[in-house]
A and B are shown apart, each in its own frame.
Chain A
Amino acid sequence: MEKQIESLMKISGIEITDTEREILEEELQVFLQYAQIIDKAPDYQRKEILDDSQLMVEDNVTPWPNVDKILKNAPALKENSYLVPPQQSRSKEELKPCDESSDNDWEVVIGLEVHAQLCTSSKLFCRCSTKFGNTANVNTCPVCTGQPGALPVLNKEAVRLAMLAGLAMNCEINTKSVFVRKNYFYPDSPKSYQISQFEQSLCSGGFLTIEDELGNNRDIHLNRIQLEEDAGKMIHVGAAGIWGAQASAVDFNRTSIPLIEIVSEPDMSTAYEAKEYMIMLRTILVSMGICDGNMEQGSLRCDANVSLRKKGDLELGVRAEVKNLNSFKAIERAIEYEIKRQAHILKNGEHVEQQTRLWDDNKQKTFMMRTKEDSHDYRYFSDPDLQPLCITKEWINSLRKELPQMPLERKRQFIKFGLSQKEATYLMHNCNYADYFVSVFDLYSSAKTISNWFFSEILSYVNSQAFIHITAQDFSCFLQTIDRGEISGKIGKQVIKDAFHDNKGLMQIIEEKQLRQINDEKIITSIVERVLSENEKQVTLFRGGKTTIFGYFVGQTMKISKGKANPSIVNKILREKLRCVDTS
């Protein structure tokens, strides 16, 4: 009882006096009796009516006009942020030296929990804007700051995007799912609970296909995709990290931005696979407009559960959850580090402790955040402010029709067109370029030619992901111009360079700079005739056997044509003319 009350006080954020404790103990006895009484209650048959479904509203931003009124109630404010005392300092774990030698006795088991912000304009449960980088707390209202008496109203677009993600990843879309409260205290959680989903989530099952190290397809199975709200942001004042700060400034702009949490099964066995899974996941989400995929800004975040077990063991080992993985590289490195750390412990005959660990990108190491003892008891229960989320079969079917081609399918198609593995993989992961490529391919038949120019020239002038200003139409005309020999490959490269430099179209550059080659034999013949008549002395020398000066005539011809004469035609006509004069 003593220990129970201690833990109750901790999760309640309340300490009580001895007399209050006595009363509580008595009341817990009463509750025990209550539990015994209701245990005898018979089963019931409440019918589920689809009409009782959760209210959903359109995704329209309606900014709250009186943020000041909300901020005015704050006990402490600093520059529009709520100011709170720092987190209780905790000693960081001393790092044991890691054994670098690889060890084949262990089998690695990895599962990922990925959080992706959905591309909606308004938040999940209120109509505040989801814009990134605004002044602290301007995108807040009574609902997302957890004001007493405010209630959540669900964003329909967020549900649609979450369902699209589920369909893209082969999930079962559940016609009935439930929102739950996940209870925990933290300054960035204004209600002190997060509205989330748990056992009855919107999407369950499913899989994502990746290519492993050997290039073989592998299905990574999913447990579920749940819809939930994001937490606020904390800036720690007076220190680089969370510990040792003097205070924290809390910004609720991010609070209640819709997230999907994609929970994989522990289906991966290498850091490479985990990274590939994340890359593939990002590609799908970004290509479908579900998430912007910006890992740096935190739109896409990843936690990894890593455990080791003896080869052949069926039971999973004790896992560590690694947080703060903000790049593909971090995912790979952190998992590799974690595998080494755990292998080292196990090799020494010790036990791995269940922990939550934080990846430090600078130190390239994981650090302990909390152990199982102080892990949270989230006290999940269905949120009484929301109804069950009921989805009609019709809605699911209509979304299914919207589904685009999935990445690996696309890649196979590009390879069929004649692209290399590397090129096809690149296009698979950069869907806007893949779309671009396809639209050029619709107008121009050789994928190989397109890819040569696209990868070696066009891409060298654009930063990754940047918009390409050259239209597909323009690009295809340009390629045809080269095919017709109207410009040389060399000039073509210059045209692309100029087009990016001047922000102009390719054909526009060709026309403005009059770069088309002269292929008209009559015109070239007249230039050649002029060159020969103006250089009688050299003609005589040539005829005298000094054939090495042939290049001189070519040079003179090109000079007069301003470089536009087709060199092969020039050569041909010069040879004819010089021979012709010779024989005459």
Chain B
Amino acid sequence: MVSRGLAQLNLKQLTTLLKKREISCEEILLAHLDVIEKYDSCLGAFLQCGGRKDLVALAQESDKRWGNGENISLLDGIFVAVKDNIHVDGFLTTCASRILNNYRPPYEATCIEKLRQSGAVVLGKTNLDEFAMGSTTENSATVTSNPWNVDHVAGGSSGGSAVAVCSGMSSLALGSDTGGSIRQPASFCGLVGLKPSYGRVSRYGLVAHASSLDQIGPITKDVYSAAQLLNVISGFDNKDSTSVCSDRIILDELQRDISGKKVAVLGKISSVVDPQVALCFDRAQKTLKELGVIIEEIEFPAFDYVVAAYYLISTAEASSNLARYDGVKYGVRQECKNYQQMLTATRSQAFGKEVKKRILLGNFVLSSGYYDAYYQKAQKARGYICDLLKDIFNKYDAIITPTTPTTAFKKGENEQDFMKTYTADITTVVASLAGIPAISLPCGLVDGLPVGLQIMGKMLEEQQILNIAYQFEKAVARDFSPPLGKMTR
């Protein structure tokens, strides 16, 4: 039970104990490994795990540094689970796809280099929807289950990373978010998930899904950990032309009083949200008001366009990004007598059906005769959405929504009705299209499943939304740990 407890601690608790030398990194590691051994066969969070020996050695090195008071940072010897679409030395990057099942990346992602420089240790690579396309982590070789209720999905596409943190297999995790792939699984699992502003974290070494939307971000137990992990991984990178310079999050200022801050609630949203989730959201608003926040409901006429614009743009970019898997340079190849046959056979057999579908749709969007009405118009709608948000942020410090319209889906539920799955993204894709930061944090439970509150902020003003999130979390003061003990093995 002690080890289970260690595995469930957040970053602040861990570093406090590490500083006092009451625990060691090795003990934290063993606690994580214990949880993995016990539950991962059922939960399916990891696709690959680091070797025990190597991990112990790294933990011992960190312990030595902590012992001498020479720890590199507060993350020294802290374990991070990484979504398997981010390149990490020593691991394959499979993207949960057959086409990359043997791909050993020849270089490491910038954010992982930064993690290493801080002393943090990559514990393993986590499951995802193939190429991060999906919102259930069911489009994968193994299905990831929700620790709150294994009949439900963990969300996606960063489902494995969310489950790893939720169940205590890892203290921290990295996911990637294209249309909600960090925030939605965080919401489904009762965690904090942060999609940073576009460009704050380098995408170098993140396997591209939709390049203009993709961002790497933290999935953690609490807001403070998310802020700290964000500080480690962010920064301008001269290997990513779309990365930007940003100010570090000042952790002490998370404590700042948020009374007087103005927050907008988007009007039409209640119509798409499950009534019980809406109730939770109302309670969350009440909590914020008690903290002195001024909440106003505003019109957001762009709601009609967000899902359409998102799917038209993301499939278009994905179709081009995934064209490189041609059986020539890496990955699997279906041997055939000529190149054209080899190409088609390889791609048809090694991509899953969701990925194939999106590639075909994306190519449709870009094909001559349709480009103007589909892609070009979607870009126009995107510009309009950005304009509207800019206006809103001239008047408000943040926008809040429920992170998702419902709690975690039942497994297999979305298999048939893709329209429903798409509509479920309506709350998260706004921030993706606008490139603005958005955080999800737990605000309640419905039928034993967590509900998330999403806070969106102005471009590069993560400090603002983290401040609100931190104060909200403190006010709610509730432990969102899943009832793992009840889990049948």
The reply to whether the CB of B384 lies closer than 8 angstroms to some CB of chain A is yes
Chain A residues with Cβ below 8 Å from B357 are: 16, 20, 23-24, 27
- C-alpha gap A433/B329 in the complex (Å): 46
Looking at the complex, which of A357-365, A382-390, A400-408 is the stretch in contact with chain B?
Answer: A382-390
| A20-B353, A193-B320 known; A41+B381 contact, CB < 8 A | yes
- C-alpha gap A38/B368 in the complex (Å): 18
| A75-B333, A85-B336, A87-B339 known; A153+B327 contact, CB < 8 A | no
Additional 9 contacts, C-beta under 8 A, given A13-B323, A151-B239: A13-B326, A13-B344, A14-B344, A15-B344, A30-B422, A41-B381, A87-B338, A381-B316, A386-B241
- C-alpha gap A153/B236 in the complex (Å): 13
The reply to whether the CB of A44 lies closer than 8 angstroms to some CB of chain B is yes
A128 to chain B, nearest CB (A): 13
The reply to whether the CB of A516 lies closer than 8 angstroms to some CB of chain B is no
Name the interface size band of chain A: 35 or more
Chain B residues with Cβ below 8 Å from A8 are: 360, 363-364, 367
Which listed residue (A42, A147, A183) contacts B384, Cβ 8 A?
Answer: A42
- C-alpha gap A43/B347 in the complex (Å): 39
The reply to whether the CB of A9 lies closer than 8 angstroms to some CB of chain B is yes
The reply to whether the CB of B478 lies closer than 8 angstroms to some CB of chain A is no
- C-alpha gap A380/B370 in the complex (Å): 12
Looking at the complex, which of B64-72, B186-194, B206-214, B257-265 is the stretch in contact with chain A?
Answer: B206-214
- C-alpha gap A386/B320 in the complex (Å): 14
What 4 pairs between A and B have smallest CB-CB spacing? A192-B323, A34-B308, A69-B106, A73-B330
The reply to whether the CB of B387 lies closer than 8 angstroms to some CB of chain A is yes
The reply to whether the CB of B472 lies closer than 8 angstroms to some CB of chain A is no
- C-alpha gap A204/B419 in the complex (Å): 44
Question: Are B103 and A153 closer than 8 Å at their CB atoms?
Answer: no
- C-alpha gap A384/B357 in the complex (Å): 21
For this complex, 29 residue pairs linking A to B, each with C-beta atoms less than 8 Å apart, are A8-B364, A12-B360, A13-B323, A13-B326, A13-B344, A14-B351, A28-B364, A30-B418, A31-B311, A37-B305, A39-B373, A41-B305, A44-B383, A69-B107, A73-B330, A75-B327, A75-B332, A82-B328, A84-B342, A85-B337, A86-B338, A148-B95, A148-B105, A149-B87, A150-B205, A151-B204, A192-B320, A379-B363, A384-B317
One digit per residue, 1 when the CB lies within 8 angstroms of any chain A CB and 0 when it does not, for chain B 354-371 equals: 001101110111111001
Which listed residue (A24, A38, A86) contacts B305, Cβ 8 A?
Answer: A38
Chain A residues with Cβ below 8 Å from B383 are: 44, 46
Which listed residue (B109, B342, B375, B381) contacts A381, Cβ 8 A?
Answer: B375
The reply to whether the CB of A266 lies closer than 8 angstroms to some CB of chain B is no
- C-alpha gap A88/B319 in the complex (Å): 24
- C-alpha gap A83/B404 in the complex (Å): 47
| A41-B384, A72-B104, A73-B331 known; A14+B304 contact, CB < 8 A | no
Question: Are B105 and A379 closer than 8 Å at their CB atoms?
Answer: no
The reply to whether the CB of B486 lies closer than 8 angstroms to some CB of chain A is no
- C-alpha gap A154/B241 in the complex (Å): 8
Report the count of interface residues on B (CB-CB < 8 A): 89
Question: Are B361 and A28 closer than 8 Å at their CB atoms?
Answer: yes
Chain B residues with Cβ below 8 Å from A89 are: 338
Q: CB within 8 Å of B: which of A371-414?
A: 377, 379-381, 383-387
- C-alpha gap A250/B330 in the complex (Å): 13
Question: Are A151 and B363 closer than 8 Å at their CB atoms?
Answer: no
The reply to whether the CB of B374 lies closer than 8 angstroms to some CB of chain A is yes
The reply to whether the CB of A142 lies closer than 8 angstroms to some CB of chain B is yes
Question: Are A150 and B339 closer than 8 Å at their CB atoms?
Answer: no
The reply to whether the CB of A70 lies closer than 8 angstroms to some CB of chain B is yes
CB closest chain-B residue, reference A89: B338
Chain A residues with Cβ below 8 Å from B419 are: 30
- C-alpha gap A12/B319 in the complex (Å): 8
- C-alpha gap A238/B380 in the complex (Å): 51
Which listed residue (A69, A75, A84, A248) contacts B104, Cβ 8 A?
Answer: A69
The reply to whether the CB of B271 lies closer than 8 angstroms to some CB of chain A is no
- C-alpha gap A70/B103 in the complex (Å): 10
- C-alpha gap A41/B381 in the complex (Å): 5
The reply to whether the CB of A57 lies closer than 8 angstroms to some CB of chain B is yes
- C-alpha gap A192/B208 in the complex (Å): 14
B372 to chain A, nearest CB (A): 10
Identify the interface centre among A15, A37, A248: most chain B CB within 10 Å of its CB: A37
- C-alpha gap A120/B337 in the complex (Å): 39
- C-alpha gap A145/B323 in the complex (Å): 13
B195 to chain A, nearest CB (A): 17
